[in-house]
Structure 1
Amino acid sequence: MLFVWILLLSPVLAGLEWQLVANESSTSPPRRSDHAMGFVSLGNSSYLILFAGRSYSNQPMHDTWIFEMQDNTAGVWRNVTKSMHPPARFSMVYGSSDGYFYIATGEGINQQYFNDFWKFDTRTNEWTELGRTAMLNVTNLFHPQSRYGAAGGIFPGGSKFFVHQGFSHTRHFDTLVFDVNTMEWNIVDCKAGQCNSYTPYYPHARCLHAGTLLDPNKLVIFGGCLSGGGTGGECPSGDTWMFDSQTLSWTEYPSCPVPRIYGSMAMLPSRRGQNRVLLYGGIEDTPQVIQTTKSPATLVGLFDPSTRTWSLHKTNAKQSFPVSRASVAMVTGHDGIFMFGGYDVNRGSLLGDLWFLRGDAYTAQNTATVSCSGSFTNFILAHGCLMVIGWGIFTVWGAFIARYAKSSGKTWFYLHIILQVTGQLCSIAGFIMAVLSVQSQHFGFAHGIIGLVVVILGILQPINAVFRPLLPKPYCRKSFRRILWEFIHHFGGTSGILLALANISLGVFVANTRSVAWVVWFVYLGIVVVVNVVSHFAQECLENRRKPMEFLELIPGSEKSIYNYKPKMAEGNV
């Protein structure tokens, strides 16, 4: 009896288990990364469709392969490439529904970007372009901007194919939907000019992120690269967002997996009312990263749509585990998830093996969990901290001392110099961190341009201070050179501080910081503003009281009292 129970419980106890289905061979697809793969069931037969990708020479491919499965752990590859096929490409969005396999967008030869949409029919092994050639008679036919590195797909049984953000010569904000029934594109979020990198209520423009459909109307995304292409942000990032196409709204949820680019997502098969999104692979260490906790090849992330939470789980293996990889194609099957190829992140080589991760949303709960305690530091964090310290603390209060805390001695002057010089050293170091953090087009967006102006103004301040004219002796008028220098020094310092404070305020949103950072910064900024305003009016009052009574004279024969003065009369007047 005990033996029977062990047999019945064995699938549950196994949790998530890797198994090698097919290794690379002379009759299998060549090694590749950034390819597309779909799972199609027709009657009692199931197929994997593999299309295109990036070769080892970094060239786009255009071949189509079918893996005809005998069961989840065996099958045969065959090349079904025909003369009619989508142009060669990689980094496209893909998915399968109702017996068809779909692909959209991608990057081709010589950085040619696509905005087309294709359907593969497994019954005939034929490709057909939709939405363009099929509707030439439709006027004002809308097509999205060409791009690659987008996320999205189609939910099995659904008709909406999502394409989210991506990159061409700029980062895109929009979310698009292609209806496979009407063969029409629609922008459902962030139409041209409506979104920017300084609003925290939707995901900032990115590419190379992971994404999948939770149901026909909900898209979940994770991570990606937010830097370059006219934007500045984390690359990799580690934020999680869900889009509801029915309410046209985004919601951000707490994240647990290590930030990454080139990661992959797929839904585990549902069971007993449980649903889980699986996140696997990716590149976690980029030139922007200072330190990160790398995920082992045995670790996967699971997102629970019902609780909106992540958890990290250790997988098992029947014989061996797949090597750590990125840019893989993953697709949901009947009893688990299939994965093909990708980029070996340790050896720097491409892969051509087919794996099966057996398990479902219910059994996945029985795998060993790992705490979300990994550490992550990048140049953006270092840049932000240095700029807040340099401009938000040292420079602000150094200028405050020079403006409102002067004394008869020179203590204030030396303190002013120490704070300003320290602040500018932090600013220069922060500027270097900013250049290192942005992948390209460092000054192609507002935060970068303002930051450059601020750093230049900051460097000019101590330089022009060296050439300041001397102060005149007491009761002597200031020279024109002194008056001009004071204006330049005051205007340059004030402009630099105001721009710096404004740019730091923009930066807390560009950097995808958590809400607690916004609160701390803006509360501190409010304190700075209040202290300076109060000090300004207090100084004005004191100066008015200390003005020499040059326009008043004592009434003859009266005692010195504030009540015994009268306005002086001009000479010659009686």
Structure 2
Amino acid sequence: MLVLWLALLLLDRAEGLSASPLSWLRVGPPESATATTSSAWPPPRRGAALVYDPSTKHLVLFGGTGANGALADVWAYDIGTRVWQQISTFSSSEQPEPRHTFVYGLYLNDTQPAPVPPRRSLIVSTGQGAQVFSDTWALDLDTWAWRRLPDNGDAPPTLYGSAGGIVPLLPGRPGVPRLWLSHGFSLKTRYSKTWVYDLRAESWSVVHGSINSYDPMKPHARCIVSSTVTADEQIVMYGGCAQNGGTGGQCPARDTWRFDTPVAPGKRYARANVTASLQGSGAWHQASSCPTPRTRGAMAPLASPAELRMTGGRYVMLYGGFETDKQTISVSAAPDDQLPVLDLDSGLWLMLRAGGQVPAFRAQAAVAHDLATGRVWVFGGQLRDGGAISADLYMLQGDPAVTPPHSVGCGSSMLFPYLHGLFMGLGWGVLLQAGWFIARYFKAHDPRWFHLHRACQITGLVLSIVGLALVMSGGVKANNLGFSHGAIGLTTMGLGLLQPINAFFRPHKGAKWRTQWEWLHLWSGRSAVLLGAANVSLGTFLLQGPAAVWIAWHSLLGCFVVACVVMEVRLQRALRLARTAPPTAAHEDGSDMDTTIGSSKAGGSGKWRRGSKEAELPRLVVGAGGAVAEPAGP
């Protein structure tokens, strides 16, 4: 271990990588030649694979999508000579179809005795092209032969935009023979399962099942995430899109998750050596959230020279991404020179300022890393300003531990789902509940109860209509409202809109269908407020916002339930006293069915009809001593 330590220290010094702030360097293409016209440089693309092969000191680029659609070409870049070479002749006719937005990684096969080639392979799994794929391929970096790997075991469905990858190579350590894949989209369904592919046994298995869309402690189904795998075999995932596809949520999201893969237990930095069979199902943990919301960003492990790279570093960098989508109302765009770095030990984001030749902010750049030297390469991507697809190559190096923080901290954003939740919370969570509460327990205060009840119901219903319009404005399609929160919400809105229609057609007391109308008004209203409160609860979990939001809402809901219990006990006591009161104090037939302590002026529906020929009824005023008969007004 001491020898390895000294060797790495000498390597740092030899390459001039002493502790210095993070800095960018533009590698190419040359200013005199553009990638679109030069055969010596890969054409522009986004959503490609890029890995660093330390054995040959080459970058290997595969696939992506460009101006003419998905690609399947392979390029190798010599770090020393700074020359690209397209691999046009493969030793086998079999090769993957053009694709982009897939999971990939570099696998070092160092099993003993010496393995059958390939020893070093680019692994590519799933992705999108002419269709969505579920296959897995290995490219031999010695012979440039592709081979499709078997889909044995519990293989994933067709997916793209998933999280995952392979543990990065560490100096003096064996490669980890596992490809991780989690979440993703199949054009119809978003997934939240986590799979692992054993690259030696060539078989898939599920290590974490589907996550309930209302579980606030785990990442809900999503796709086009930013993700990487760390040296201690954790999956780190940021943001993504959780809207539609059989679920709902933020798009783009800004939550950070870490999956402790179910390898044999041990110290965090020792787990990369584990070759034991998988145990348990692993666990997701949420880290802090700070960077702006993003989809299609890139992530990579980042090492500090102070750690001599033996541990694989304790940092993960987030680069680029789309900060806006249909749900976005406003966002404070991240500066080009801001580099979010996640400290794996503390779980906190460091918003650092990287210097040098800073690349323009972009999404879906291909990212490769070399933990032995602490370098990261970024190729291509779609530029935020103008939307052009790039083919430039940048290198990042330096020490995140000594890099100064950026003056612009965590970004702010506003999405349509936030306003949807606010309006629905005020409507179905507060006002419509208060209107029902007033009508149920305060009819003795005639006619004030009716005016308050009507004001609450009308205002609450208007707010809920605005809330529904806001979420539809955020890109939610009607055919994607079939999941529970959407279906309950539409049912609740239908029941709510039924109430003013009921009021318009309310029969007079004693008229035909009066009893049926009262039952319809009563039970449709009760069903609406119950479903509304339940759906607000589901919404607070579905959105995966700050824990304070759903804690505050459920605390308020708990207080409301307690108040209802107290008032219902008080009301039932008053009713029992009323039934034993003298006949003159008994309530006459035709009163509101919601409670026998009704208001004659408000009528059975709570509507006061001036000049009505209906008989004025005595009122029962509920006081501290019970129900007291009070003559009706003139």
Name the TM-score class by shorter chain: 0.7 to 0.9
Name the residue aligned to 1:571: none
Name the residue aligned to 2:429: 392
Q: Secondary structure at the match of 1:116?
A: strand
Q: How does 1:161-560 map to 2 (within 5 A)?
A: 161-168=179-186, 169-190=188-209, 194-246=210-262, 248-273=282-307, 274-317=313-356, 320-333=357-370, 334-359=373-398, 362-370=399-407, 372-407=409-444, 409-440=446-477, 441-471=479-509, 478-547=510-579, 548-550=581-583
Taking the aligned partners of 2:14 and 2:47, their CA distance within structure 1 comes to 39
* C-alpha contact 1:12 1:366 (8 A) present in aligned 2: no
Name the residue aligned to 1:568: none
Q: TM-score, normalised by structure 1?
A: 0.86
Q: Per-residue CA shift, 1:234-292, capped at 9, x if unaligned? A: 00111111111126111111111111001100012343334210101001111101111
Name the residue aligned to 2:595: none
* C-alpha contact 1:31 1:341 (8 A) present in aligned 2: yes
Letter in 2 for 1:293: S
Name the residue aligned to 2:125: 104
The match for 2:46 among 33, 37, 40 is 33
Name the residue aligned to 1:60: 70
> Percent identity over the alignment?
34
Taking the aligned partners of 2:166 and 2:302, their CA distance within structure 1 comes to 15
Name the residue aligned to 2:57: 46
Name the residue aligned to 2:149: 130
* C-alpha contact 2:365 2:382 (8 A) present in aligned 1: yes
Q: Secondary structure at the match of 1:290?
A: strand
Taking the aligned partners of 1:211 and 1:391, their CA distance within structure 2 comes to 37
Shift in Å, 1:439:
4.2
Count of residues paired in the alignment: 519
Taking the aligned partners of 1:182 and 1:294, their CA distance within structure 2 comes to 45
Letter in 2 for 1:327: Q
* C-alpha contact 2:22 2:397 (8 A) present in aligned 1: yes
Q: Per-residue CA shift, 1:24-56, capped at 9, x if unaligned? A: 2332111111111111122xx311111111122
Higher mean C-alpha deviation, range 11-20 or range 240-249 = 11-20
* C-alpha contact 1:114 1:147 (8 A) present in aligned 2: yes
Taking the aligned partners of 1:154 and 1:541, their CA distance within structure 2 comes to 68
Taking the aligned partners of 2:89 and 2:392, their CA distance within structure 1 comes to 20
Taking the aligned partners of 1:201 and 1:408, their CA distance within structure 2 comes to 46
Shift in Å, 1:78:
2.7
* C-alpha contact 2:17 2:305 (8 A) present in aligned 1: no
* C-alpha contact 1:64 1:81 (8 A) present in aligned 2: no
Q: Secondary structure at the match of 1:67?
A: strand
Shift in Å, 1:160:
1.0
Taking the aligned partners of 2:445 and 2:529, their CA distance within structure 1 comes to 26
Shift in Å, 1:141:
4.0
* C-alpha contact 2:75 2:84 (8 A) present in aligned 1: no
Q: Per-residue CA shift, 1:330-357, capped at 9, x if unaligned? A: 0102341011101112111111111111
* C-alpha contact 2:259 2:284 (8 A) present in aligned 1: yes
Shift in Å, 1:549:
3.7
* C-alpha contact 2:42 2:84 (8 A) present in aligned 1: no
Taking the aligned partners of 1:188 and 1:344, their CA distance within structure 2 comes to 36
Higher mean C-alpha deviation, range 21-30 or range 368-377 = 368-377
Q: Determine if the alignment matches structure 1 residue 78 to structure 2 residue 99.
A: no
Taking the aligned partners of 1:22 and 1:162, their CA distance within structure 2 comes to 32
* C-alpha contact 1:34 1:342 (8 A) present in aligned 2: yes
Letter in 1 for 2:192: F
Letter in 1 for 2:257: W
Taking the aligned partners of 2:350 and 2:507, their CA distance within structure 1 comes to 65
- Gap regions ≥5 residues in structure 1: 1-6, 133-139, 472-477, 553-574
Shift in Å, 1:546:
2.2
* C-alpha contact 1:231 1:445 (8 A) present in aligned 2: yes
Letter in 2 for 1:17: S
Structure 2 CA distance for partners of 1:368 and 1:388, relative to 1, 3 Å: closer
Name the residue aligned to 1:87: 97
Shift in Å, 1:512:
0.4
Structure 2 CA distance for partners of 1:539 and 1:349, relative to 1, 3 Å: same
Q: Determine if the alignment matches structure 1 residue 114 to structure 2 residue 120.
A: no
Aligned-residue CA RMSD in angstroms? 2.2
* C-alpha contact 2:304 2:401 (8 A) present in aligned 1: no
Letter in 1 for 2:139: F
Taking the aligned partners of 2:178 and 2:15, their CA distance within structure 1 comes to 38
Q: Secondary structure at the match of 2:158?
A: coil
Q: Determine if the alignment matches structure 1 residue 16 to structure 2 residue 22.
A: yes
Shift in Å, 1:389:
0.3
Shift in Å, 1:182:
1.1
Taking the aligned partners of 1:386 and 1:308, their CA distance within structure 2 comes to 33
Shift in Å, 1:537:
2.0
Taking the aligned partners of 2:577 and 2:89, their CA distance within structure 1 comes to 91
Query: After the TM superposition, which segments of 4 or more aligned residues of structure 1 sit over 4 Å from their partners?
Result: 7-14
Q: Per-residue CA shift, 1:137-196, capped at 9, x if unaligned? A: xxx743211100111110122111111110002001111111111111111111xxx432
Taking the aligned partners of 2:388 and 2:19, their CA distance within structure 1 comes to 34
* C-alpha contact 1:101 1:120 (8 A) present in aligned 2: yes
